[in-house]
């Protein structure tokens, strides 16, 4: 088994935003990433090159879990991590040969942990080096301090603020009810929708002075989501923004 730092992962994911987040999680685990958007393209790449890990994001409504997993294993002996919105299909995917199955939407730290577990060796060399601070386009995101710095502005977030911020940013464009956010972002059930609303308002106030390529949106009856600016006018490296936010969830979780 290769050391994690030299490992290569193939990510098969059709959704652009998920693809960016998954790639960032793998990158934070010290894994070099190649991405494709379709299973057929992934199978071709597995036939052409060797990879140490395969991550497949199952498209919504796709019933082809067992055949796809079989195709992947025909071309590669690498561990396979499956990300799937259909929780009831997890057993079938596992029995078909998936090494690990994570739900969509996923907590980013769980995916980083799954990558570590898939590539873990029997000694201290398997420890994954993690960055905790990234600077991009004049903005510094520090997951240990839970701060975003832009110019002379330093915005500090509480633990719950940061967990809420990072979970939404790691699952961009998806609506979450207050109950879902409390359960997934905070891994709790003790908070009411009204309490969550107060945290959302606080996060918005803290983000307001900064020029960032995302907006925290709410809509009655649908919930909350992050809308990302992926246009040419947005930040040039969206993945770097996501990677910092994703990392924070992992660091806090451990």
Q: Tell me, what DSSP letter sits at residue 15? A: -
Residue-wise pLDDT for 129-151, tens only, equals 344 666 666 777 777 788 888 88
The answer to whether 146 and 199 have CB atoms below 8 angstroms apart is: no
Residue-wise pLDDT for 164-198, tens only, equals 887 887 777 889 999 888 888 777 777 788 888 88
- pTM for this structure? 0.53
The answer to whether 34 and 11 have CB atoms below 8 angstroms apart is: yes
Torsion of CA 25, 27, 33, 38, to 10 degrees: 20
Domain ranges for the chain:
4-126, 133-253
CATH number of 133-253: 1.10.10.10
CATH number of 4-126: 3.40.50.2300
**Cα separation of 13 and 6, whole Å?**
22
Average pLDDT over residues 144-166: 85
């Amino acid at each position: 088994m290769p050391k994690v730092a030299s490992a290569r992962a193939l990510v098969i994911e059709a959704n652009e935003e998920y693809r960016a987040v998954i790639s960032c999680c793998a990158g934070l685990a010290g894994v070099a990433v190649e991405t494709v958007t379709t299973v057929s393209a992934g199978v071709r790449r597995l036939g052409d090159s060797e990879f140490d890990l395969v991550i497949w994001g199952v498209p919504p409504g796709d019933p082809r879990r067992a055949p796809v997993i079989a195709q992947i294993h025909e071309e590669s002996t690498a561990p396979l991590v499956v990300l799937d919105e259909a929780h009831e299909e997890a057993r079938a995917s596992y029995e078909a040969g998936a090494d690990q199955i994570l739900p969509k939407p996923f907590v980013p730290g769980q995916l980083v942990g799954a990558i570590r577990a898939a590539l873990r060796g029997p000694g201290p060399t398997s420890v994954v080096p993690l960055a905790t601070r990234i600077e991009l386009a004049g903005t510094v995101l520090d997951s240990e301090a839970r701060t975003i710095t832009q110019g002379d502005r330093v915005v500090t977030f509480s633990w719950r603020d940061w967990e809420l911020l990072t979970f939404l940013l790691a699952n961009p464009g998806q609506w979450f009810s207050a109950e879902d956010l409390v359960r997934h972002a905070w891994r709790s059930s003790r908070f009411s929708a009204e309490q969550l609303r107060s945290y959302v308002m606080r996060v918005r106030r803290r983000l307001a002075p900064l020029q960032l390529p995302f907006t925290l949106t709410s809509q009655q009856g649908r919930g909350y989501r992050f809308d990302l600016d992926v246009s040419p006018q947005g930040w040039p490296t969206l993945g770097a923004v996501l990677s910092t936010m994703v990392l924070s969830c992992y660091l806090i979780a451990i």
